[in-house]
């Protein structure tokens, strides 16, 4: 049989390759915007006509191309961005395949004008279906302008498959957003059919998001920031109440590249669990920075999917960090938009000068007393500033902003029965003024009457939730009250434990611990959190260390989160502890001042409700 295999001519090969890279006008927009970014442009203009079907033009003020490069850039596998296969794992550019321009030139009429800084005359090239139709010198500004006209003019099937103009425009805007959000310092303009669609000045990330999605977005943003050895995360999530049925505002960027990842999206959803209604999706703008060696971008033709070496740690870290932020920043005031903001957190660490903790201990202090600041403020705590540890017990009324923000539907709709109490079976003297609202069963549960029936609260889990949120806040605010000890406490721990303790020393100090020595096998403590018994300190540290040891998967987890969980577990009022009525009520108030009152830090239910209607059925 005669030989039948032959090599395809370049223009055919290019057309086939174009099928992968260029699916629609938006694909061209993406590739050209990325080239402009890679060229170091500070100002990029996108001009579109008829949803890109007639014209897509990108004007940049980047570094431009020499005459030879201008000709070569349309060849397949022509790239200035990588030289060897190893470079694929050390990418600092958007492009690297050298395929985009070749593909685009195979299926459209393309015009290129470009000039470098150091030449006075630029180049003007036109190319149609992979064939150069003209090349001449031209007087043009430094930078590059590429115009892509009549996309798919030579592939009618593809052209006919394009969707309506509104749909294709939507796709273009999506791509434009992705690039614009990833590069806030670059100015972008988009003009469609002669009118300005977007005009985005150079700015920071927060302002860019607001400029793209509108002024109202600012108050919806909750900052997220965390850095571990494998990944640095910055950005924002949208407050839970803005979760949407559609998956609109969900953006992951890895090393400034927009990517899609169902797995990481799941991590975010997991962090929002219990805070958003079923069937709605939280919004987010998350910027991950990783070592380029730890990812593979070359697994998908449009480079929107990537492979991480250590996906599991990133997952765990993302989830914990976002949970933390939701706990912390929900009550933060909206930042003044005219100030410089970037990713700064509402708590301005930088402006805070270190304050020596006041050494004032109230030995009579009862953590479950109502309004401790009122009763004890004058005696031992400064009144104007609620000490952090004590503020664990500050009542609902004193937390006017945060109380309701994050409660899910179920819990925020509880109405406590507080009227028309006509005397009760168990009324006792100390409650006769207000009527009995709560009582304790088996020294384990607190039961309260609510309008629809009955509320049962697990006292230990409820207190864990209260302490956990407070501890996280202390760690972020970095101001806790410490009781200074007359005689330092000394403990022996194993060397690895002491080394571990060293790594969490700082965070522990934000909760009120003071260490005078952590070395070898010895730990010496001169200050402990207010309201914690000296005798329980060793047990607490043991517990914290073993929790950290057992739960941290490598470096991927937020230590603050773990630490807060662990301390909350150690410090919470135990099952089996009898609580006075005020203590019970106070705990309930505290609980409902929490962001997430219905689950414990370890995700167990904290409360349940029994409906009166269900009781009725039992009595028939």
Binding site for Mg ion (CB under 5 A): 35, 95, 100
Q: Which contacts (CB < 8 Å, 24+ apart) does range 345-352 have?
A: 345/223, 345/225, 345/476, 346/223, 347/476, 347/477, 347/478, 349/478, 352/478, 352/479
Comparing every residue's Cβ against Mg ion, the nearest one is 95
- What is the 3 state secondary structure string of 148-192? EECCCCCCHHHHHHCCCHHHHHHHHHHHHHHHHHHCCCCEEEEEE
Residues that bind ligand ADP in the complex, under the rule CB under 6 A? 31, 35-36, 39, 60, 62-65, 73, 78-81, 95-102, 144
Quote the least distance from Cβ 95 to Mg ion, whole Å: 3
113 binds, among ligand ADP, Mg ion, none (CB under 5 to 8 A by kind): none
Of 25 and 95, the one with the shorter C-beta distance to Mg ion is 95
Short-list 56, 58, 48, CA closest to 192: 48
Of 35 and 431, the one with the shorter C-beta distance to ligand ADP is 35
Helix 262-271 vs helix 311-329: angle between axes, to the nearest 10 degrees? 30
Of 36 and 181, the one with the shorter C-beta distance to ligand ADP is 36
Cα 56 to Cα 49: distance, rounded to the nearest angstrom: 7
For every residue of 548-565, DSSP letters joined together read HHHH--TT-S-HHHHHHH
60 binds, among Mg ion, ligand ADP, none (CB under 5 to 8 A by kind): ligand ADP
Which DSSP category does 245 fall into? S
- What are the φ/ψ torsions at residue 244 (nearest 5 degrees)? -125, 160
Of 60 and 111, the one with the shorter C-beta distance to ligand ADP is 60
Residue 459 exposed, middle or buried by CB count within 10 Å (0-12, 13-18, 19+): buried
36 binds, among Mg ion, ligand ADP, none (CB under 5 to 8 A by kind): ligand ADP
Quote the least distance from Cβ 36 to Mg ion, whole Å: 9
Comparing every residue's Cβ against ligand ADP, the nearest one is 95
73 binds, among ligand ADP, Mg ion, none (CB under 5 to 8 A by kind): ligand ADP
Of 22 and 101, the one with the shorter C-beta distance to ligand ADP is 101
Of 102 and 472, the one with the shorter C-beta distance to ligand ADP is 102
- Classify the C-alpha dihedral 364-366-370-373 as positive or negative: positive
112 binds, among Mg ion, ligand ADP, none (CB under 5 to 8 A by kind): none
Quote the least distance from Cβ 73 to ligand ADP, whole Å: 3
Angle at 576 between CA 573 and CA 582, to 5 degrees: 55
Quote the least distance from Cβ 10 to Mg ion, whole Å: 19
Of 45 and 177, the one with the shorter C-beta distance to ligand ADP is 45
Quote the least distance from Cβ 31 to Mg ion, whole Å: 5
Quote the least distance from Cβ 302 to ligand ADP, whole Å: 12
Which helix H or strand E contains 618, and what residues bound it?
A: helix 612-618
How far is the CA of 140 from the CAs of 41, 63, 355, 476, 501, in angstroms? 16, 13, 60, 53, 63
Of 63 and 473, the one with the shorter C-beta distance to Mg ion is 63
Quote the least distance from Cβ 176 to ligand ADP, whole Å: 16
Quote the least distance from Cβ 40 to ligand ADP, whole Å: 8
């Amino acid at each position: 049989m005669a030989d039948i295999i032959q090599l395809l001519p370049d223009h055919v090969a290019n057309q086939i390759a174009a099928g992968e890279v260029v699916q629609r006008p938006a694909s061209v927009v993406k590739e050209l915007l990325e080239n402009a970014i890679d060229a170091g442009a500070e100002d990029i203009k996108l001009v579109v006509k008829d949803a890109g079907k007639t014209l897509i033009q990108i004007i940049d003020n980047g570094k431009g191309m020499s005459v030879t490069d201008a000709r070569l850039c349309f060849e397949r596998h022509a790239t200035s961005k990588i030289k060897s296969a190893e470079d694929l794992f050390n990418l600092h550019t958007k492009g690297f395949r050298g395929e985009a321009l070749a593909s685009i030139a195979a299926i459209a009429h393309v015009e290129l004008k470009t000039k470098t800084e150091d030449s006075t005359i630029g180049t003007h090239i036109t190319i149609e279906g992979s064939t150069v139709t003209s090349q001449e010198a031209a007087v043009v500004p430094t930078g590059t302008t590429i115009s892509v006209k009549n996309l798919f003019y030579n592939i009618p099937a593809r052209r006919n498959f394009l969707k309506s103009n509104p749909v294709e425009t939507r796709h273009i805007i999506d791509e434009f957003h992705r690039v614009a959000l990833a590069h806030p310092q670059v100015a972008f303009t988009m003009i469609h059919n002669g009118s300005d669609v977007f005009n985005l000045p150079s700015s920071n990330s927060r302002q860019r998001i607001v400029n793209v999605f509108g002024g109202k977005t600012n108050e919806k943003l909750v900052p997220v920031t965390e850095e571990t050895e494998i990944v640095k995360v910055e950005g924002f999530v949208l407050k839970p109440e803005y979760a949407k049925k559609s998956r609109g505002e969900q953006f992951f960027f890895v090393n400034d590249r927009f990517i899609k990842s169902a797995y990481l999206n799941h991590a975010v959803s997991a962090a929002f669990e219990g805070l958003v209604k079923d069937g709605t999706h939280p919004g987010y703008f998350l910027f991950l920075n990783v070592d380029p060696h730890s990812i593979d971008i070359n697994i998908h033709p449009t480079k929107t999917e990537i492979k991480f070496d250590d996906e599991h740690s990133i997952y765990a870290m993302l989830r914990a960090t976002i949970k933390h932020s939701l706990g912390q920043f929900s009550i933060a005031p909206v930042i003044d938009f005219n100030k410089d903001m970037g990713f700064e957190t509402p708590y301005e660490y930088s402006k805070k000068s270190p304050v020596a903790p006041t050494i004032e201990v109230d030995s009579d202090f009862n953590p479950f007393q109502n309004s401790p600041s009122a009763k004890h403020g004058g005696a031992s705590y400064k009144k104007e500033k609620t000490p952090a540890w004590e503020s664990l017990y500050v009542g609902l009324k004193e937390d006017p902003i945060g109380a309701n923000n994050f409660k899910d539907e179920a819990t925020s709709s509880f109405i406590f029965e507080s009227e028309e109490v006509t005397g009760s079976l168990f009324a006792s003297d100390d409650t006769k003024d207000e009527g009995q609202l709560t009582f304790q069963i088996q020294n384990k549960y607190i039961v309260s009457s609510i309008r629809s029936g009955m509320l049962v609260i697990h006292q230990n889990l409820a207190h864990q939730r209260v302490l956990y949120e407070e501890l996280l806040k202390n760690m972020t605010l970095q101001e806790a009250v410490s009781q200074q000890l007359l005689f330092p406490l000394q403990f022996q721990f194993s060397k690895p434990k002491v080394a571990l303790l060293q790594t969490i020393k700082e965070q522990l100090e934000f909760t009120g611990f003071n260490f005078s020595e952590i070395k070898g096998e010895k730990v010496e403590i001169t200050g402990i959190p207010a309201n914690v018994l000296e005798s329980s300190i060793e047990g607490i540290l043991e517990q914290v260390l073993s929790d950290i040891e057992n739960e941290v998967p490598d470096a991927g987890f937020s230590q603050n989160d773990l630490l807060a969980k662990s301390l909350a577990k150690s410090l919470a009022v135990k099952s089996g502890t009898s609580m006075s009525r005020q203590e019970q009520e106070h705990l309930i108030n505290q609980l409902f001042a929490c962001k997430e009152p219905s689950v414990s830090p370890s995700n167990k239910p904290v409360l349940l409700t029994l409906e009166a209607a269900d009781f009725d059925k039992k009595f028939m």
